[in-house]
Amino acid sequence: MRWITRGVLIASVAILCPLGISQLTATESADPIEVSAPITASVRRAEPLRIDDVLHAFGHVAPADIIHVSMPRHAAPVMEVLVNEGDLVDAGQTLIRIDRTEIQRDLLQAEATLSAARADVRIAQSSLEVAATEIVQHRAALERLERLARTGASSEVQRQDATRALQKALAEHKASMARLSGAQARETLALLAVERVATLSQQMDVRAPVAGRVTAIMVDPGATPTMGAPILDLAAADRMEAVLTVPPHALARVLPGIPVRLWTPDGTMIDGDVTRINLSTGPEAGLARVAVRLPDGHYHLAGASLRGEIIVDQRMAIVVPTSAIVPLKTGPGLFRVVDRRAVATPVELSMRPGGAEAEIVVGLSEGAAYVAVASSLLRDGEAVAHRGWLTDTGFKQTAALNFGLARR
C-alpha cells in the first residue's frame, strides 16, 4: 500500500510541475529580445554635373593637308632619294635628285641657239643702219639734181635714176627692219628656251615646297617617272586629323568648332575639335565625313583606326547610380535622407549609356542627400543614424558615407 501511495504522488508532481512552475516562473523572467545590427547604406549629396550629349563615330587618322610633289616636266632617271618616309623636312630642302645629263645638253643647245639669234640681231641692226645711210645719200643726190634742173644743169634721166635709187634704198631699209624684227623674235624665243631649260635644270633637284613630314615616296633610284607624275607626298606642317564617318541625318547637330573626344587603339584619349564636314563619295556614299583637328605630335597615329565622341550638346544635370533607384507603387523612385529618416521619393529619370547611371529629370533637387545603394531592408520613414553631420562631410558627387539604420 505504501508503494502505491508513493507512485501516485510522483505521477502527480510530474503532471503539475510543467503547468504550475512554468506559469509561476513566467511572471518573473522573459526570453532575451534580439536586436538586429545596423544596416549599412551609402549616402551621397546630389550635385549637378556637366552632361555631354555625344554622337558616337568611328574613323581613322590621316594628314590634314597632303602636298603632292610631282616629277619635273622632263623625263630623266632618278639619281638619288635623300629622304625616308616619316622624315621631317624644311621648306626648300632637297628631297630627290634627277639625272641632269640630258637637261644639261639641252641647256647648252638652247644657249647656242640664243647666241646665234643674238648674232642675227646684230647683223640685222648693221644692215638697217647701212640702209638708213643709203636713204640719206640717195635723198641728198635727188635734191641736188632737182636744184640743178632749175638751171638746166641736170637731165630728166638723171633725176629718174636718182628717184629709183632712193626708192630702192627705202625698200632695203624696210626689209632690214623686217629682218631685225625677225632676229629679235628669234632671240626672244631662244632666251625663253634657255630660261625654261635652266628652270628645268634647277628642278632636277626636287625640293620641298613647304615644311612638313614625308608620308609617301613613289619612286626608286634608277626609275624614270612620267613627267608630272607624283613622286612624293608631304604632310604640310606635320598636321594630322581624324576623319570620322557619321550618318547624314546627324549632321544637323554637328558644327565646325565643337569639341570631340577621340580614343586610340591603346586607349589613349585625345581632345580635338571639328574643322570641316563633307559628304562622302564612292564606297562610303551615304555617310558624312567629319574632320577633327589633332594636336601636334600625333604623326605616329597616321592610318590608325579610332573611335570618337562628338559632343553635340553640354548641360548641367543631377546623375545618380542605378543602385539608388527603387521601385515604388507610382514608378521609379529613390530614398532621400530628411531629418535622419529615409523618405521614398518618386522621380522621373533618363538612363545614361552603359546602364550604370541615371539622370534625374524631376524629383531630386540640388544638395539633397539620397541613399546611393538602397538596401532591401530599407523602408519609407525608416530612421537613419549616422556618424557626424552630413553638412560636415564636404560631399562631392563621387563621395560616399556609411550610415546605419537605428533600432525601433
pLDDT for res 153: 82
Amino acid residing at 276: R
Q: Which of 263, 292, 315 is a domain's end point?
A: 315
Query: What is the number of other CB atoms lying within 10 angstroms of the CB of residue 382?
Result: 20
Q: Which of 315, 349, 378 is a domain's end point?
A: 315
306/322 same-domain check: no
Q: At what angle do helices 156-203 and 101-151 cross, to 10 degrees?
A: 160
Query: What is the number of other CB atoms lying within 10 angstroms of the CB of residue 201?
Result: 17
pLDDT for res 407: 29
Query: For the CA atoms of 120, 123, 127, 128, what is the dihedral angle to 10 degrees?
Result: 70
pLDDT for res 69: 96
140/186 same-domain check: yes
Is the CB of residue 245 less than 8 Å from the CB of residue 279?
Answer: no
82/106 same-domain check: no
185/247 same-domain check: no
Provide the CATH number for the domain around residue 46: 2.40.420.20
pTM exceeding the 0.85 threshold for the entire prediction: no
Q: Is residue 186 part of a domain?
A: yes
pLDDT for res 242: 95
In angstroms, rounded to a whole number, what is the distance separating the alpha carbons of residues 67 and 95? 13
Q: Is residue 14 part of a domain?
A: no
129/276 same-domain check: no
pLDDT for res 55: 92
| Residue spans of the chain under pLDDT 50 | 1-11, 13-38, 387-408
Range of the domain at 178: 101-201
131/212 same-domain check: no
pLDDT tens sequence across 15-74: 444 444 444 333 334 444 444 444 556 788 999 988 888 999 999 999 999 999 999 988
310/328 same-domain check: no
pLDDT for res 64: 92
Report in angstroms the alpha-carbon separations of 59 from 267, 292, 301, 348: 15, 10, 12, 36
Q: Is residue 13 part of a domain?
A: no
Q: Is residue 229 part of a domain?
A: yes
361/401 same-domain check: yes
**What residues have CB less than 8 Å from 30, skipping those under 6 apart?**
none
pLDDT tens sequence across 93-150: 999 999 999 999 999 999 999 999 999 999 999 999 999 999 999 999 889 988 888 8
In angstroms, rounded to a whole number, what is the distance separating the alpha carbons of residues 326 and 345? 9
Provide the CATH number for the domain around residue 171: 1.10.287.620
pLDDT for res 408: 31
299/326 same-domain check: no
Residue 260, H or E segment: strand 259-263
83/210 same-domain check: yes
pLDDT for res 205: 93
Q: Are strands 205-207 and 212-217 parallel, antiparallel or unpaired?
A: unpaired
DSSP-based three-state secondary structure for 356: coil
pLDDT for res 84: 96
Provide the CATH number for the domain around residue 277: 2.40.30.170
Is the CB of residue 259 less than 8 Å from the CB of residue 271?
Answer: yes
Q: Is residue 332 part of a domain?
A: yes
Q: Which of 315, 347, 368 is a domain's end point?
A: 315
Number of domains in the chain: 4
In angstroms, rounded to a whole number, what is the distance separating the alpha carbons of residues 163 and 180? 26
77/215 same-domain check: yes
pLDDT for res 379: 85
Q: Is residue 17 part of a domain?
A: no
Q: Is residue 93 part of a domain?
A: yes
The phi and psi torsions of 124 (rounded to 5 degrees) equal -65, -35
245/304 same-domain check: yes
pLDDT for res 285: 60
Provide the CATH number for the domain around residue 222: 2.40.50.100
Q: Is residue 30 part of a domain?
A: no
